[in-house]
Chain A
């Protein structure tokens, strides 16, 4: 059976989701191509422009838009931004981002659950950005989320899987796709998240701050693919100490 990522009744082959902020609009097309991305996020507030250039005009055809609600400080604002995204023609996918802290940009899980419930009922494919908390993730499932998107580390920090153990718990316990979002700084970290069983990885700053953006996009694509293959093939066990002899010491015993 083909290995695809299923979201909102759609199937995707690529498991690397690309961010579109923090770098030149003219690089978006190359980033999408080298990353092999089929989904790209964009801030609705960034698309709220008309006179000069609009980021929407730079996104290649055929790529699924995942508008996010950044700038929302509570559920009500997120809902309004999501509806605006739909009006702007961004489709039914929405990534909920609700932050009440401008320093670390950590998501507010409680408000995110409320917004998820409202938007899921309105037919949105809701992908909530969240702090990896199992109870909140279960509530998001019940609220109608299409996936959960736990953070690896604060947005833009490039710190990698700081919440590794808690993301693993979500992967083990939640039946929806678990997409690791925020904080992934290098391809090896993206690979590790995929080895753990994440359904996909999303990145922005790691690419935006790279010396050669398209080349880094390609590196991430390969890392995500490698991690996925490793996960599907079943990783070997890890020995904490010593080696494992292939011949046992008790093999001579007959009964």
Chain B
């Protein structure tokens, strides 16, 4: 069923190709995705179990226009879990404009007209996992690269010179290549050049999150990809990422490790996007309830084409569906930050920041070590391939002006490391 994702390379050895095909075709050859590996910390599973039980019981088809109208009828901001489900259902599609109007008011009340800007910095694209849809997957034939501390600092200087004050550090998911210490050193460097440092790396244990926090990180993003455990099993065929519950509990471990904020996300288009959106929102909601001081945000990426496979599409999640999800997120979690990445087009991002999104990226490259080339046109060395193709490639200054012209106030930083 997932043939559209599978691609072989001539550079794979016979043994590798055989192993890959076995993983793809024989479920019995794959390790259990629900069992923790040695060294993976286990915490109280209640939150995970609650989210999954709600998601599994959710049947989007059973909601009607009446349920949607009821959800939209409140004068105040109250939006129950049942109403959230109605807003995510197909029955809400004809009410998209009304949802956007209401979401926009809620966003304004909580965030005014401010929009936060950040840029991601990929420091390594080595990966030990076989996630069939991802450009970094270990069987994909791409140019692999890991930046040295000197190269990282250079990239950071180039980005900082553009005026950016918030950075998100990303790696492929390889503990062997990109150790916690390697990432920690990158974060210490980032603190020199940026006011706010976030990470999006492989999930780690509480004590490792604490170490990274001490290196200057306060925000942790982890994409669950899909909350549907069975579907997750079919898409993440090998590597530590395959362990579904360990990934699910990453945000909670990050908060236990002292991080100020976390982001939850499903990669829409991998499974039933309505159920994934429900689980994402509820995951964030329950984390805030359990850790009331935590700053909560949501990301909402859709599938994108990758190097060697330009056929990957978000399938049934069009811009209208994405907009519906974002409006529902906003009404269910009025206080949550919502990030929309450069996977989406400039026109979509210009529109959605007036409705629900509060943070967007600018000056983006998903490749390794190519910011200088992107920012200055100067080519002075090799670079590693990107994780996926971006759509909106606007620079920081262009984004800043565009937002101002839309009547919005760009904010480069509103954060203090205390």
Contacts and interface: CB of A to CB of B under 8 A. Distances in A.
Chain A binding surface SS class: loop
A21 B418 contact: no
B213 to A, nearest CB: 14
A24 B400 CA distance: 13
A43 B114 CA distance: 14
A85 to B, nearest CB: 10
Nearest to B410: A52
B377 interface: no
B335 A209 contact: no
B262 to A, nearest CB: 11
Interface residues of B, number: 35
Chain B binding surface SS class: loop
A80 interface: yes
B293 A73 contact: yes
A84 interface: yes
A255 interface: no
Interface string B394-418: 0000001000100111111111101
B195 interface: yes
B112 A205 contact: yes
Contact of A156 (B110, B113, B288, B413): B110
B108 A100 contact: no
Interface in B220-265: none
Contact of A21 (B108, B112, B408, B412): B112
A21 to B, nearest CB: 6
Given A21-B114, A51-B163, A100 B416 contact: no
Nearest to B105: A209
Contacts of B288: 102-103
B165 interface: yes
Contacts of B409: 23-25
Nearest to A84: B416
A102 B404 CA distance: 28
22 contacts: A21-B114, A22-B108, A22-B112, A22-B114, A23-B113, A24-B407, A24-B408, A43-B414, A45-B414, A46-B411, A48-B195, A48-B415, A49-B195, A51-B160, A51-B165, A77-B418, A84-B416, A99-B293, A101-B292, A102-B288, A102-B335, A103-B292
Given A45-B415, A77-B418, 8 more contacts: A23-B113, A45-B413, A45-B414, A49-B414, A51-B160, A102-B335, A205-B109, A209-B112
